A and B are shown apart, each in its own frame.
Chain A
Amino acid sequence: MSNAEERAEQLALISRLKATYPEVPEWPMPDQMTSDHFLAYMKNPHDVGGELDVPAAYENKEEEQWELMTYVLCEVLGMRGIWVSEERRRIGNVDVGRAVYLGIPYYGRWLWSVGRLLLEKGYLSWGELTDRLVEIQDRYAGGLAGRLPDAQPKSEGDGANVTRNAHHLEAAGVGDPQIFAGKAGPAKFKAGDRVRVRELPALFYTRTPEYVRGAEGVIAEVTYESPAPEDETWDRTDAKPEWFYIVRFKQCELWHCYTGPMKDTLQTEIPERWLEAVR
């Protein structure tokens, strides 16, 4: 049970966590907010391509048991139609916000996204989850003594009435994105077409990176039909598939002061809604 001093220490710790630009007061008034700052705050935290960073030692990592279990948890929920991976990505890579995105371990966010989704979709209540967290903390309160903690479900529920998406049944034996073939209509672009990436406001979620917006490239390949991630992420059953394209850019045109040779390129995959023809 924490005492007043421990609570004060935690408050002091949280007070040191800064998540805003230092040049503007916290909680800015509308007249203190410029558009470029607004766009910076709205930028999806996962969209880090091209952001400034320095060389650092890369390392491998031995996987924790809980990390493997987290990965399995996420994929089994997808296998059983509770979500699609795009929902997980939005929740765990964007909805968390920039501070948590950079501040907690990678699989910590995978795990967070499970809890968040199950609460939002009503599979669990906050009380059920919180009571169970307390129970597990108590279970191992004396220390693990070299044991691996493990799940001890009290029963195995009847899953027949659980709400599941149609996708996991429809796509069985077919595949994703194969299940969407033939549903997008004619492709607007073909290989070799010059295109520009539109500069859309991109609030809440996108997988078209900021570093290509406004840039011109060439269609390298017309790839497949699928709902755009901007629809798939919200579990929309009415999401209309569209054509996807691998678009090739010249690095010297993409980046200001690109330091490599003129022939270097970058390719990324973009759904049709994001592209416009260049005359």
Chain B
Amino acid sequence: MSDHGHEHDHDHDRTVKPMVDEITDFEVLEIALRELCIEKGLFTAAEHRLFTEFAEQIGPTPAARLVARAWLDPDFKRLAMTEPLAASKQVGVDWLEPTGFGTPSDFVALKILENTPALHHVIVCALCSCYPRPILGNSPEWYRTPNYRRRIVRWPRQVLSEFGLVLPDDVEVRVEDSNQKHRFMVMPLRPEGTDDWTEDQLADIITRDCLIGVALPTPGVTTNIITTTRSAIRPIAN
């Protein structure tokens, strides 16, 4: 994973797996399809490389930076709420890239959900795993699971409590089920104890989990809630 997309949340508690030497059915199928697509001219190896490079550099840093900047600059916050695509560009994310019409799976329709003292948002795609990849990177595994998708829409406070987030009854919990072309991220409330912080310091505590809505930004907390990570058999080549 390149440094560009490096997540500051270090989800690295891994178990060691024995080496599996035999090629898997999925690897065979993927290679077969890729070879045949290139041989038939559906796409070129260069186009495949281009998209691979795009995929390898996305991460949560731009979204964290967007929120940090919005906390510091009311004009930028207004831009983020009224023209989220323009605000994205200011943190280096052009939602039309790399195809010119948006990624096929993420489209060009970002909406930022602003939390208030009376309103807390949490995001899910109950049908699949729609997620604002260009600005937030790839979704965590748990976000994609039927377990999260089944339960967060119907028992949101219970699921949030499993992440350690318990909200009082006078705060409205609003679940945003991201099931069409819109892609969402949360703008959490700026926490107490961050006066005079720089944009970098603020961005550090705006973790991916805060941007999904399963955590609140907290001074001193720069990691996501869940850090256990299942290792891959053959992880991504660097």
Q: Which A residues are within 8 Å of any B CB, using their own CB?
A: 44, 46-53, 55-80, 82-85, 88-89, 93, 102, 105-108, 111-112, 114-115, 118, 123-124, 128-129, 132-133, 135-137, 140, 143-146, 148-162, 167-168, 171-179, 207-209, 211, 223-224, 226, 229, 244, 246, 248, 251, 255, 258-261, 263-271
Residues 2-31 of chain B, each 1 if its beta carbon lies under 8 Å from chain A, else 0: 000000000100100001011110111111
What are the residues of chain B within 8 A of A266 when measuring CB–CB?
153, 174-177
- Given contacts A76-B43, A229-B180, is CB(A264)–CB(B226) below 8 Å? no
Docked-complex contact B21 and A143, CB < 8 angstroms: yes
- Residues of the A chain whose Cβ atoms lie less than 8 Å from the Cβ of B149: 48-49
Docked Cα-Cα span, A123 to B40, in Å, equals 8
On chain B, the residues within 8 Å of A106 by CB distance are 129, 144
Which residues from 167 to 189 on chain B have a C-beta closer than 8 Å to any C-beta of chain A?
169-170, 172-182
Given the known A-B contacts A49-B150, A78-B99, A271-B180, are A137 and B35 also in contact in the complex, defined by CB atoms under 8 Å? Answer: no
B179 touches A211 (CB 8 A): no
Shortest Cβ gap from A80 to chain B (Å) = 5
Compute how far the CA of A178 lies from the CA of B56 in the bound complex, rounded to whole angstroms.
Answer: 26
* Cα A184 to Cα B196 with chains together (Å): 48
The yes or no answer to B140 lying at the interface (CB within 8 A) is yes
Closest 7 CB pairs of A and B: A78-B104, A157-B41, A159-B41, A58-B142, A49-B126, A175-B108, A171-B101
Q: Give me 16 A-to-B residue pairs in the complex whose CB atoms sit less than 8 angstroms apart, sorted by A's number.
A: A50-B153, A55-B162, A60-B11, A66-B24, A76-B47, A77-B42, A111-B29, A111-B33, A124-B40, A129-B36, A150-B31, A156-B39, A176-B107, A260-B157, A261-B170, A265-B174
B57-86 contacts to A (CB < 8 Å): none
Given contacts A46-B128, A207-B127, contact A154 B39 (CB under 8 A): yes
A144 near B23 with CB under 8 A, answer: yes
Asked if B117 CB lies within 8 Å of chain A CBs, one says no
- Proximity bits, B88-118, A CB within 8 Å = 1, else 0: 0000000110111111110111000000000
Q: Mark B202-238, 1 if CB is under 8 A from A, else 0.
A: 0000000000000000000000101111111111110
